């Protein structure tokens, strides 16, 4: 494939109705396309319903073609979707929430604007090796956010993108090494709300 070529993916629709999604998939996959996507999710429905639908529908997507979940999501969403058979994602989540002071870490979600971080000298995520975590404290990141400094959005975005990249890299490595279930459970324990 050259750079000028594009790949047309068929998009499976059907709202939150599993039977409609499966019917849509049957029709869409009757056309031989380079890949297939689940669309129309993460648009305000309860997150548990989205997770349930992905778990029910994704395993029925063709396994010999890329399977893409459109516009999703949080680290928890990604782990659940990978576990259901999804291969690809796109989402504004890591950059949008970073600009608003929400950061994803291996300890869970952090809202850097909280006063508890005002004098916290620790790194944002001690398990992360990104520039932000290696260079700045939670207190400094909170100060930047509270002051409206543009550097806040930049450093937060650097961290969240690095976190997502690392999450996907570790997911691939776990799958290839036959350790997916162990890694999935590790992530679910850390990312799911208690």
Domain coordinates of the chain in residue numbers?
9-91, 94-160
From 113, 84, 61, select the one nearest 180 (Cα to Cα): 84
Residue 2 predicted with pLDDT over 70: no
Residue 103 predicted with pLDDT over 90: yes
| pLDDT score at 127 | 96
Q: Average pLDDT of 15-19? A: 90
CA–CA separation, 68 and 33 (whole Å): 13
| pLDDT score at 97 | 97
Residue-wise pLDDT tens digits, 52-69? 999 999 999 999 999 999
Residue 194 predicted with pLDDT over 80: no
Q: Which residue has the higher pLDDT, 78 or 3?
A: 78
Q: How confident is the model at residue 42 (pLDDT cuts 50, 70, 90)?
A: confident
| Three-class secondary structure of residue 97 per DSSP | helix
Lowest-pLDDT range of 4-13, 15-24, 61-70, 107-116: 4-13
Contacts of 71 (CB under 8 A, 6+ apart): 39, 41, 42, 43, 90, 91
Alpha carbon distances (Å) from 176 to 148, 150, 190, 193: 43, 40, 22, 28
What are the start-end ranges of the H helices in the chain? 18-28, 47-57, 75-84, 93-99, 131-135, 138-146, 150-176, 180-191
**pTM for the whole structure:** 0.91
In the chain, % of residues over pLDDT 70: 97
Using DSSP bridges, classify how beta strands 108-111 and 102-105 pair: parallel, antiparallel or unpaired: antiparallel
Q: Average pLDDT of 85-112? A: 96
Residue 82 has φ and ψ, to the nearest 5°, of -60, -45
Residue 151 predicted with pLDDT over 90: yes
Q: Which residue has the higher pLDDT, 2 or 47?
A: 47
Residue 173 predicted with pLDDT over 60: yes
| pLDDT score at 3 | 61
């Amino acid at each position: 494939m050259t750079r000028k070529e594009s790949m047309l993916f068929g998009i499976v629709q059907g709202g939150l109705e599993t039977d409609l999604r499966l019917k849509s998939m049957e029709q869409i996959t009757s056309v031989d396309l380079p890949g297939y996507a689940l669309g129309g999710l993460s648009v305000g429905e309860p997150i548990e319903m989205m997770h349930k639908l992905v778990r029910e529908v994704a395993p029925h997507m063709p396994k010999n073609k890329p399977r893409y979940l459109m516009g999703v999501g949080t680290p928890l969403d990604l782990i659940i979707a990978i576990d259901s058979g999804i291969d690809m994602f796109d989402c504004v989540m890591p950059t949008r929430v970073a600009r608003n002071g929400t950061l994803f870490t291996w300890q869970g979600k952090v809202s850097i604007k909280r006063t508890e971080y005002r004098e916290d000298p620790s790194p944002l995520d001690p398990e992360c090796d990104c520039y932000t975590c290696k260079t700045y404290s939670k207190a400094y990141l909170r100060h930047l956010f509270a002051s409206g400094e543009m550097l806040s959005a930049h450093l937060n975005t650097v961290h969240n993108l690095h976190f997502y990249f690392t999450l996907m890299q570790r997911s691939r490595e776990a799958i290839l090494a036959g350790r997916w279930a162990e890694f999935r459970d590790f992530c679910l324990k850390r990312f799911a709300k208690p």
